[in-house]
């Protein structure tokens, strides 16, 4: 189960399709090859993504197929 406190590294290992999903939702630094450190929530907050959207991310990421 994905929650807001999952690390980005663990998320992309557990749900490879999350990379595309995150990029489509404003977390684009995954594409440029820079390492992304922190949790889903902390990275989203750094990008200025509102709390409601983070909760939506969690729901929608849980619907993606696992690795």
Long-range contacts of 43-51 (CB under 8 A, 24+ apart): 43/8, 49/25
State which H helix or E strand residue 52 sits in.
helix 51-61
Per-residue model confidence (pLDDT) at position 37: 80
Per-residue model confidence (pLDDT) at position 30: 60
Per-residue model confidence (pLDDT) at position 34: 60
Tell me the pTM. 0.86
What mean pLDDT is predicted for residues 56-60?
A: 98
Structural domain boundaries in the chain: 8-61
**pLDDT tens per residue across span 8-44:** 989 989 999 998 999 899 887 665 556 668 899 999 9
Question: What is the distance between the alpha carbons of residues 26 and 65, in angstroms, rounded to a whole number?
Answer: 21
Per-residue model confidence (pLDDT) at position 15: 94
**Cα dihedral sign for 6, 9, 11, 13?**
negative
Q: Tell me which residue of 28, 55, 29 sits closest to 41, measured CA to CA.
A: 55
């Amino acid at each position: 189960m994905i929650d807001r406190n999952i690390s980005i590294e663990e998320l992309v290992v557990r749900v490879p399709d999350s990379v595309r999903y995150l990029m489509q939702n404003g977390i684009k630094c995954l594409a440029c090859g820079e390492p992304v450190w922190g949790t889903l929530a902390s990275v989203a907050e750094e990008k200025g993504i509102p709390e409601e959207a983070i909760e939506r991310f969690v729901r929608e990421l849980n619907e993606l197929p696992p690795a």
